[in-house]
Amino acid sequence: MTQLPESQSVLDLSELQQGLPAITPAFGSALAEAGAVCLSEQGHQPSVALEVEGSFSGAFVLLWPQVTEQMRRCWNDQDYTTEQGAYSVALLLIQRITSFTVVERSRRGTGFDYWLGNLSDSADMPFEKSARLEVSGIRRGDSPAGTVPERRQVRARVTLKEAQVQAVDSLSPAYIAVIEFSQPLAWVVEQ
């Protein structure tokens, strides 16, 4: 397990509005909105702690754009919003805890969501596809926040996603990130 630095770093979903190598600023803004809706609908305020567990251990202070009524109406489909909100947290988090960033969306049926590349790669082959990222979101676990059964649900989802990713391609490294919004918790596993 990799221990993250003691001081709490900030993870600001608004940063996605600037875009990433495989995320346009427009799509990044949409992801930030989805994450903001997921967090605010769980009663959280900006500056809530995001616990990180799994192959990594630590915490981040989460910030996000102000949620409006228009955003709530736009992001009314809970399943879709949870999926997109999980991407918002996972894409920023993976940059902070690894040397990777998102470089390409994978195609449907590949068993994972995004290709990751190392930003420090040489100029000859920038953003080479080096690892895979599979993301899953849980809006609220089945039991009250912080209890053991809820963590079991997160770990069970991680196990399911590990099998999904490994079934497709066990040759390239993979990261699985399950984001649970009621605590909030990010369980990130390096495979």
- What is d(CA 39, CA 153) in angstroms, rounded to the nearest whole number? 19
Q: What is the pLDDT of residues 122-168, one digit of tens each?
A: 444 455 778 999 999 989 876 555 555 467 778 777 777 777 777 66
Can you give the pLDDT at residue 147?
55
Task: Let me know: does 93 contact 41? Beta carbons within 8 Å.
Answer: no
- Which H or E run contains 51? strand 48-54
pLDDT over 60 at 7, yes or no: no
Q: Of 101, 123, 105, whose CA–CA distance to 113 is shortest?
A: 105
What pLDDT sits at residue 160? 73
pLDDT score for 149: 47
- The Cα 171–Cα 191 span in angstroms is 10
Task: Supply angle C-alpha 55, 6, 8, rounded to 5.
Answer: 95
Is the sign of the CA dihedral 164, 88, 71, 36 positive or negative? positive
Q: Tens digit of pLDDT for each residue in 57-107?
A: 999 999 999 999 999 999 999 999 999 999 999 999 999 999 999 999 998
Position 111 scores a pLDDT of 83
Question: Positive or negative CA dihedral for 40, 62, 81, 28?
Answer: positive
pLDDT at 171: 67
Q: How far is CA 163 from the centre of its chain?
A: 18
Summarize the confidence of residues 173-177 as an average pLDDT: 90
The verdict on pTM exceeding 0.75 is yes
Confidence (pLDDT) at 122: 45
Q: pLDDT class for 3, splitting at 50, 70, 90? A: low
pLDDT value of position 70: 98
Tell me which amino acid residue 97 is.
I
pLDDT of residue 125: 47
